[in-house]
Amino acid sequence: MSAKNLPKIRGSYRLNADLSKTSWFRVGGPAEVLFRPEDAEDLINFLKNKDSDLNITILGACSNVIIKDGGINGVVIKLGSNFAKITHDENIITIGAGTLCSNAALYAKMNGLGGLEFLTGIPGAIGGAINMNAGCYDGDISKILLSAKAIDFDGNLIEFKNEDFGFKYRGHQLPKNLIFIQGVFKSFPSNSEEIGKKIAEFNKKREESQPIRSKTGGSTFKNPKEQKAWELIDKAGCRGLRVNDAQMSEKHCNFMINTSNAKATDLINLGNKVIDLVKEKTGITLEWEIKRIGKD
């Protein structure tokens, strides 16, 4: 594909762009084209003027995704710093989709706005967090989101209220062809010291229980109803299980890590092996929480 065949934009196109450096697992093949829009208007212009059959993939901070070794055909859209602005009006916080969740928690701390502390424990950016209803430490996006703006693949800007989402565990019922660009969240008056204590407590818990210093991607599998995925994985004898350089963490066995030079195929094969062993041992079929995208 040539950039000449794509709409004229104010942002940037990169051909054959290496995606492995942006993936938290440090794996994956290249994007045929990587598009970084300048702003929402630039993104809308691209989507309205692209070929209707063009394959579009959205990437956030790449914290909960395995990019396959063959890379991704078509155009990969990645939102940059112009989509990472945060503002607030009293207790209402507007956060750009490109904002890291941890940065959103720190902004709330600096401004004495409570209720967003759990975001410090979510890897990745706000756009992805909205899309998967991310959560931890008894908090999740559905509990604090008031509304969100998104652009569909035809370039239409749409605003959704919380009740429009039909939120469920790690997901929602809206169409999949949406690029979230902004979320509006509720908070409550607090003080920086109290918020800082909660954030420090959550970060301490993460440090003690999760392999956050490793090349990982957060929780690998969703928790089945009234079950803990890690307990099922442990029961099936999969703690520390390896496929080449891919391993289920000894520290937290629902975290998959790239110990050195794993390929995406190794990580995916390891995950599928865990699913089989857990099914064999417990009768329960685990569901991937980490997305696998691209071509083999």
- Cβ(28)–Cβ(290) below 8 Å: no
- Determine what percent of the chain is predicted with pLDDT higher than 70: 99
- Is the confidence at residue 3, as pLDDT, over 90? no
Q: Which two tokens stand for residue 206?
A: 């993460």
Residue in 23, 36, 190, 289 annotated catalytic: 289
Predicted local confidence at residue 184, as pLDDT: 98
Place of tokens 């942006």: 22
Q: How many Å apart are CA 60 and CA 217, to the nearest integer?
A: 13
CATH architecture type of domain 84-194: 2-Layer Sandwich (3.30)
DSSP state for residue 5 in the 8-state scheme: G
Question: Which of these, 115, 222, 125, lies nearest to 169 by C-alpha position?
Answer: 222
Give the confidence band of 70 by pLDDT, cuts at 50, 70, 90. very high
Q: How many Å apart are CA 11 and CA 27, to the nearest integer?
A: 26
Per-residue pLDDT of 8-38, as tens digits, reads: 999 999 999 999 999 999 999 999 999 999 9
Query: Has 159 been annotated as catalytic?
Result: no
Query: Has 219 been annotated as catalytic?
Result: yes
Predicted local confidence at residue 77, as pLDDT: 97
Predicted local confidence at residue 213, as pLDDT: 87
Residue in 63, 190, 219, 249 annotated catalytic: 219
Per-residue pLDDT of 195-242, as tens digits, reads: 999 999 999 998 998 998 899 988 999 999 889 999 999 999 999 999
Burial state string for 9-22 with b = 16 or more CB within 10 A and e = fewer than 16: bebebeeebebbeb
Q: How many Å apart are CA 154 and CA 255, to the nearest integer?
A: 36
- Residue boundaries of the structural domains of the chain: 3-78, 84-194, 211-286
Q: How many Å apart are CA 218 and CA 249, to the nearest integer?
A: 11
Can you tell me the mean pLDDT for 114-140? Answer: 94
DSSP state for residue 253 in the 8-state scheme: T
Give the confidence band of 76 by pLDDT, cuts at 50, 70, 90. very high
Per-residue pLDDT of 78-115, as tens digits, reads: 998 899 999 999 999 999 999 999 999 999 999 999 99
Q: Is the pTM of this model over 0.75?
A: yes
CATH architecture type of domain 3-78: 2-Layer Sandwich (3.30)
Residue in 117, 170, 187, 206 annotated catalytic: 170
The CB density around residue 283, as the number of other CB atoms within 10 Å, is: 8
Classify 67 in phi/psi space as left (phi over 0), alpha (psi -120 to 50) or beta. Answer: beta
Tell me how far the alpha carbon of residue 44 is from its chain's centroid. Answer: 22
Average pLDDT, the chain: 95
- Cβ(30)–Cβ(69) below 8 Å: no
Query: Has 32 been annotated as catalytic?
Result: no
Classify 237 in phi/psi space as left (phi over 0), alpha (psi -120 to 50) or beta. Answer: left
At the top level of CATH, the class of 211-286 is alpha beta
Can you tell me the mean pLDDT for 261-274? Answer: 98
CB neighbour list of residue 156: distance below 8 Å, 6 or more residues apart = none
Q: Which two tokens stand for residue 140?
A: 């999740």
CB neighbour list of residue 225: distance below 8 Å, 6 or more residues apart = none
Question: Which of these, 275, 288, 259, 267, lies nearest to 28 by C-alpha position?
Answer: 267
- Is the confidence at residue 2, as pLDDT, over 70? no
- Cβ(40)–Cβ(70) below 8 Å: no
Predicted local confidence at residue 218, as pLDDT: 86
Give the confidence band of 258 by pLDDT, cuts at 50, 70, 90. very high
